[in-house]
Structure formats: C-alpha cells, structure tokens
Structure 1
C-alpha cells in the first residue's frame, strides 16, 4: 500500500509539473490575445487620426505577419507567399527548438503594428502589460525562441512592406485644385486638402492593378433643369431635407469619418472616430466571437478582411482622383441653397465612387466566405462613440446599409453608391476566388 501511495503521489506530481510547464499551450491559444492586440491597434489609429486608406495599410501588414508566423503550428493553413504580390516565402523555424507559434504570431503583429503608427509608446505599453501576463505561463527558453521567430517573420514582412510605394507617395505633390465647375473642392468647415491623391500608386495585394475594376463614370456635370446630374443632386437634397430618425441613425452609425471638425468662434477642434476599415475590423471581431472562432480562424479572418479593405481602398481611390467629382455640399450651396448642410460632415476627397460602398461590400464578401450566410450578429462597434448597436442577419445586409448611409448623410450621389457596390463586389469576389488560406 505504501509503495502504491508513493507511486500515485509521484505520478500526480509529474502530471502537475507537466501541466504547469505546458500551461502556455492553453493560454496562448486564446484568440483574445489577437483580438485585444487588434483593438489596441484600432484605438491608436483613432488617436493618431490616420486617414481611411492609410489605416487600411496599418491593419493589413500586422495581420499578414501574424498569419504567416502561426503557420508552422497549423498545417491546414496555407502561406500567402506567392499569393500576394511580391510576398516571398516566410523564413521557416528552427525545428530543434520549441516554439509557441501563437506567441510568435502575436509578437509579429505587435512588431509590425508599432512600426506603422505615431504613438509607439501606446503600443509598447500594451505589449509590456500583455507580456507580463503571458510570460509566467511559459518556460523561458520557449519564450525566447517564440519571440525570436516572431521577430524573424516581422523582419521579412517589413522588407516586403517597404516595397509597396508608400514611402515614395509621401513625396508626391499635393492635389491641385482647379476652377472647373465639375471638379472637387475642399469643403467646410476645415477645408482640408484632398487626402492621398496618389494612393492608386500603392502596390495591391491580390487585384492586378488599381484600375482593374474601373467603375462606370458618374453622370456628366450639368446643372441645367432635367439633366441626369442635376436629378441626382436634387435627390441628395431631398433625401436630407426629408430625413427621418431612422435615416439619420443609419447615417451616423456608418459615418466613420476621422476628420470631423467643430468650430466655436475662432477655435476649431476635432472629434475622433473610427475609420470605415476600422468599423469592419470591429465587425470581424464580433463575427469571430459569435462563431466561437479559434486562434487560427481568428487570425485568418482579420487577415482576409484587411486584405479586402486594402485592395478595395486602392481601387476606390484610383477612381476618386480620376473622376475628381465635386461633392453634393459644394454643388447645392453654389446652385441651389447656400445655407444647406449635409447630415454628415463631407470627408476631404472627391466624390466618386463611395468609399464605404466599395470597402464594405468587399469586406462583407470576405467575411461571408468564412462564416457563411445568413449570419446574425449585433454590431456594437460604434457604442463607444455614443451610438446604439444595430442588428444584421448577414454581412451583405450590413454593407448595403453602409452604402446607402452615404445618401442619407448627404455626402454622395446614388451613382457613387451603386457603382461603388459593384466595384467592391468585384474586388471582394476576386480576392476570395484567388486566395487559398485553408488547404483544400
């Protein structure tokens, strides 16, 4: 009996030691480590007031780094090397060392994310606090090996990232304003210059080029009575003037304008808001929680959504600065009603096509490919900005509402919305058809 008791005790101690040693396997597989890191990145993007196109770049590279770093632990997932323009195979890990690839994934995400924002201290403080919780769960050698592999993957992604023409576009001249009646002009109250006029020069991820899905042109500028263009302008004017509490709520929910300015006397200040891409990253978070997505599925979802956002913004911005169309606010003030103001503040770039229509549709198609349809969820992304949550039964229902919100808000004509939805549909469908993330 004594021998049996001693043997049982040794067995329990051995198992207990193994469980403690391997505790990190459970802790690090928690997808909240990625969710919280992404939320921190979103918060910093809002704080630093990045433009919607630039924000899409800040989301995509950390997501791809996280995805590539986790792959050695998940053989059912396929590398994006050779699938994304210019991305070469990621360095493979040293198989003689024990590595926690979930930690490597989080570390690669944070490493790249910190490179892309201004408030590095906020990301570093978050990382410090997160690692203080995670490190005690893991043997020191595994910890060091995992961070080292995350660094290696991040360095590889950074080298690829640096070739996307972003740095070169920082040196391009500002957008030139002309007196031509149809052309975009800065709008009140801040009269900000057109943002990112050269964004079409950024290297795409999946689509062949920025102009691959060139949408139909907007109606020709013509403010004579009965013209197609004037009819579209009058539609915006009427919809805003006859707005209801529901249309106002929809417009506000999908505003996502990081440039909202307020003027009191001679003092101007800004209200910080999440970008359109940030809203869809938030929807991705919600979808993962509803679907109870595990660590790899969560990373896949963020990666696919961010790729859809990135290419959709490039496609949209290519058309914006090609058609260079004047905004409803400018036209209505000049030709119809000098005191008219839209429900939403007009963002600082040309009108056609609608950014939310393009990027929301592309993102919705990406999410639908992962989680299916119908997919009921409550969108609470804007609650922290003082707005009520909204319920949707499918991602494409949400993207349709996001698109029409631009008419309700008075900042887009219907052609920009309709053609933008079609443009986003083509971008999203191509990405989903070309990318193979889960091995078949």
Structure 2
C-alpha cells in the first residue's frame, strides 16, 4: 500500500507539472494578441498617423512580441543576425520561469505605447488584457512583466537609430514649380506628408531606392500623348462607375484623415490606414488557420515588415518623381468641376502607395498561408461597409490597386508599376528574413 501511495504521488506530481509547464508554454488563446493588435489599430486611427508612420509603429510593436515568443520555440528564428544592427535581446536566467505569452503582450503594448500620442489608451487596454493572465503564479507573472519590459526597452532603443527623429527636424518641403509636378489638392490643400521618409532605415532593403520603378509617363498636354491618354482614362472611368466599383473603391479607401467641408466648418473623419487594413487581414488569416502564438506573431511581424519597407520604397519614388495628381490635371484641362470619388491624399502620385504595400503584403501572406487562400475580409465593417470575399491575397491586392483608379486618385501606370514594385519588395523580404528554421 505504501509503495502504491508513493507511485500515485509521483504520477500526480509528474502530471501536474506537465500541465503546468504546458500552461506556461501554450498560455491563453492567441486571441489576446489579436485583441492587442486591434487595440493598437484603434489608437493609431484615433491619433491620425499617416500611413508611413503607422507602418513604423506596427513594425516595432510586432517585432517585440515576436522576439519574446520565439524564445520558447526552437522552430522559429530570432531577427538578431538577420537584420543589420538588430539588438541583442535580453536573455533569461536559467532558474527563471516565465509566461512568454504574457511577456509578449506586455512588450507589444509597452513598445507601441512609446510610439503613439495617446499612450493612456493603450495603458487602459493592457490593464484589461493582462487580467486574463492574473491566475499565473505571482513570481512567474512578475518575471514575465520584467522580461517584457526589458525586450521592449531593447527594441525601442533600436528604433531610435532609424532616422525618424532626424526627419522630424527637416525643413518644410518646397514644391517644384515645374509643369507636371505635384501640388496640394482640394479640399484641404494639405502640405506634403512625410517628404523625407526615404531616409528612414529599412528592414530588409539595402537602400530606399533598391527597387526603383520605371519612371512615370512624360508629362504632356498633347491629347495623343501617353500621359493624357491616362488622364482621359481616369476621367472616363470615374464618370460611369457602377455600384460595385464604387463599393470596391470605398472598401479600400483607407484614408486616415478624410476632410469634411461644410461651409466654413472643416472636420475630419478618421479611418484605417492601408497598412492597418493589411494588418487586419493578417490577423483574420491567422485566426482562420488556427495559428498558435508563434505563428500568429510571425504573420503579424512579416506583414508589418512588408508594409514598412514598402512605404520606404514607395515614398522614395514619390518624392523623386513628384508627379502630378489626376485631380490637378483634369481640373486644369478637362473639367474644372470634376472631383474624384475618393479624396486625393496629400503627397505625389507616382507610384501608388496602396498598390505597393498591398502587393508586398500579399506576397508575404501567400508564403505564410499558401496560394488560393480564400477569406472573408470584415475589416471595414466598423466603418459601415460590408464584408468582401477574396479568392487569395493576390486577388485582394489587385482589388486594392484598381480601387485607386476607380477612386480617381491614381493613373493606371502608377498602379501597375506600383504592384510590380511591391511584389519585388515582398519577394526580397522573404529571401532575407527567415522565421522558420
């Protein structure tokens, strides 16, 4: 009886410790990471960050979460040694027990909190979400918070060297007076957004100009010129849009600062940025596939890298070519009362930013989830738009691109060449950055 009692206690001890260890490894559902991501997106919308700046926030927050989660899984690789200048990530002491999921969510919030204006909104979010970890042993909980803070500090220190602060101190952008160059557009005639973004340090690119696209068509007012044919195409298409084309363009609008004008009253409608839309798609795909914590974090991080490098490459071309917008040309030479369906954003036309980053994100997500990954995208339901269904990520990125033509804010060549630019960026990223061993 005594021998049986000893064996029983031994078995009980092993079982309890096995499940305790599993709980530390598996943690609660990755839904907590999805919730953290959605909360960050809401704050980015609230603070009205431009698309390039939003991509930077997503990048550092998601890298912080990923680096913590891969500490417990040898199937995934750290970014140290893969990204030039990437910092050493703080290591654990051998006898320290940690809940890596708790540490990852905490690092995500602490990193992003220092990159947004409304940090207090994320503080409220972290208080709610961390309550789901409260059953964790007090020592484990405290160790996890400490490790999360250490990793966040390391990533934030790295972020200080990406030239972002230097671009804040640059002189105001001076517009070119040459014909065919971009000038601010109605209704707000807002100054150029992020004219020095090409100086931001990329993740995988050797330089901002590594995937420089072919130049835009030569500006000409000759009706027979390639340029004026593109102008006429925008004008003709937008004059006879179908209900489906209007819905498609609205779904992919992703204008973080839509300016409403009513008499002397101006006010903004805040919306998701293009990058925020693709972060949402990455999350929906991960949920649909039932990805674990590491797989979910990898999908978010790789998508954010594609967006980040995509904006750097695209903005490099935008302020190199400084190309004129359809609205300016059409109002001057075809129809002074014409207005595009979508509001023209405050930066040069070529190439199409949404086309570049959508193509880059689609390449990365296809590599993660596979070709012909069908999904329903409910990203825009919060903004009163219906769910849209896609056959693949490529299908979604193609739709995002053509939406700019239907919206009247881009010429076709900016879309087509922007997509080619984005695809090359996405493929390059996959060749440089490996998450799986």
Give the TM-score normalised by structure 1: 0.95
**Secondary structure at 2:114 match in 1:** helix
Residue of structure 2 equivalent to 1:126:
125
Check conservation: 2:87, 2:155, Cα contact below 8 A: no
2:375 to 350, 374, 377: 377
Check conservation: 2:211, 2:421, Cα contact below 8 A: yes
Residue of structure 1 equivalent to 2:304:
306
- How far the C-alpha of 1:55 sits from its partner, in A, is 0.2
Residue of structure 1 equivalent to 2:202:
204
Q: How many residues align?
A: 437
Given the superposition, is the C-alpha separation of residues 80 and 14 from structure 1 closer, same or farther in structure 2, using an over 3 Å criterion? closer
Question: Alignment RMSD, CA only?
Answer: 2.0
Residue of structure 1 equivalent to 2:353:
355
Residue of structure 2 equivalent to 1:408:
406
Residue of structure 2 equivalent to 1:47:
46
Structure 2: how far apart are the matches of 1:333 and 1:366? 39
- How far the C-alpha of 1:26 sits from its partner, in A, is 7.2
Structure 2: how far apart are the matches of 1:268 and 1:275? 21
Residue of structure 1 equivalent to 2:170:
172
Residue of structure 2 equivalent to 1:158:
156
- How far the C-alpha of 1:10 sits from its partner, in A, is 7.2
Check conservation: 1:85, 1:204, Cα contact below 8 A: no
Partner deviation per Cα, 1:100-135 (whole Å, 9 max, x = no partner): 112111111111010110111100011111112311
Structure 1: 5+ residue stretches without partners = none
After TM superposition, list the pairs within 5 Å mapping 1:221-260 onto structure 2: 221-260=219-258
- How far the C-alpha of 1:17 sits from its partner, in A, is 6.9
Given the superposition, is the C-alpha separation of residues 370 and 16 from structure 1 closer, same or farther in structure 2, using an over 3 Å criterion? closer
Give the TM-score normalised by structure 2: 0.96
- How far the C-alpha of 1:8 sits from its partner, in A, is 11
Residue of structure 2 equivalent to 1:277:
275
Check conservation: 1:23, 1:138, Cα contact below 8 A: no
1:424 to 422, 427, 433: 422
Residue of structure 2 equivalent to 1:296:
294
1:35 aligns with 2:29: no
- How far the C-alpha of 1:434 sits from its partner, in A, is 1.4
Residue of structure 1 equivalent to 2:90:
91
Check conservation: 2:64, 2:108, Cα contact below 8 A: yes
Check conservation: 1:99, 1:143, Cα contact below 8 A: yes
Partner deviation per Cα, 1:155-196 (whole Å, 9 max, x = no partner): 111111110000000001121123322111111111110100
Check conservation: 2:184, 2:190, Cα contact below 8 A: yes
- How far the C-alpha of 1:20 sits from its partner, in A, is 8.9
**Secondary structure at 1:382 match in 2:** helix
Structure 1: how far apart are the matches of 2:160 and 2:220? 43
